[in-house]
Each structure stands twice: as structure tokens, then as C-alpha cells.
Structure 1
């Protein structure tokens, strides 16, 4: 089963990565904060964060960037999206 990893810059905590799961409550989604507001986390940092959360990129998946604009005059925010799956445990291999 695949899920969507999202990389976003929150208003309060800075950059964070979270996994959109089947849970209807975003509060239940696994997440990791990078504890900084400047500089986008590197690919290596994002990969390490996903591993900490127990996920890995789906074969061939690449980060895609989406522009989020609330209106034509407001600031633009970017959202990184990557297809991921749970890292198989020893029993799943």
C-alpha cells in the first residue's frame, strides 16, 4: 500500500514532513519537524526523516512540487509530495 509523504513549511514550526495515511484525522499521521524555517531540507535529510518514520520512497518516485496560492495577491507556498510505502519488517520480506 502506498501513501503520500508531504513536505511543507508550517506557520509555527518551520519545515515538516508528514505521511498521509488512511486515518481521517491528520493528528494521527506520522510527522517529523526539521525545527527550522529557512532552507528547504535536503534530499538526504528528507530520506532520513522518512526512515525514522518507518517509510521509504516507492521505486522510481521523485519529489513533486506544488504551488499553493490562496489568492492572487497573497504569498505563495510550496508543497513537496512523494509516494512512499512502509519499510518492510523482517517478517514482510
Structure 2
């Protein structure tokens, strides 16, 4: 099973939640969306709406899972495997564009 594309939600360096769709190994190519807030943590329905607006959905009914980076300064992030939507969906934004 392919690891990409995958959506990840992280608390970025600015201290706000950001959702990325990893489509390849070059970060400049990733789609991104900023929730423009640190709290509360974005909900699953918010993430689903953002993914749809970016043209993606969770792959095969997969659910968001929390994980952490390796090393001494571990950072939590949520991830879910995604696939492109087969039909365009218009979803109003719930935060701000990246």
C-alpha cells in the first residue's frame, strides 16, 4: 500500500494548526491550509471539510490517528491516508488559507 498521499495536521512553528496534504517528497508541492488558531484543536468534521475543499478524502474509510516525531523534542501530529475526490466538492472554508 502506498504511503502517499497522506494528510497531516500539525501545530506549526507559528503556534497554529495547519493541515497539509503530502502528495510527494517535495514540501513545496504539498497543499496546505491554516486554521489560524492554536485552540481548540480542529475537529474531525473541520478536517474533513478542509480535505474536501482541497480535493481529497480519507482513503477507504480510514480514520485520523495521532502520532509523534522521533527524537528528544517529540511533536504530536494527526495523520490519515487520503485519495483524490472523484467529483469536485464545494465546501465553505472553516479557517484561513495558508
The two structures share one fold, judged by TM-score above 0.5 = yes
Q: Deviations over 1:21-74 (max 9, x none)?
A: 12x320210111000012210011000100110001112201111123541xx4
- Structure having the higher strand fraction is 1
Alignment TM-score, normalising by the size of structure 1: 0.80
Structure 1 unaligned runs (5+)?
A: none
Kindly report the root-mean-square deviation, in angstroms, between the aligned alpha carbons of the 2 structures: 1.9
Alignment TM-score, normalising by the size of structure 2: 0.77
Aligned match of 1:87: 85
C-alpha distance in 2 between matches for 1:3 and 1:58: 9
Where 1:59 maps in the other structure, the secondary structure is helix
The structure with more radius of gyration = 1
Structure 2 unaligned runs (5+)?
A: 89-98
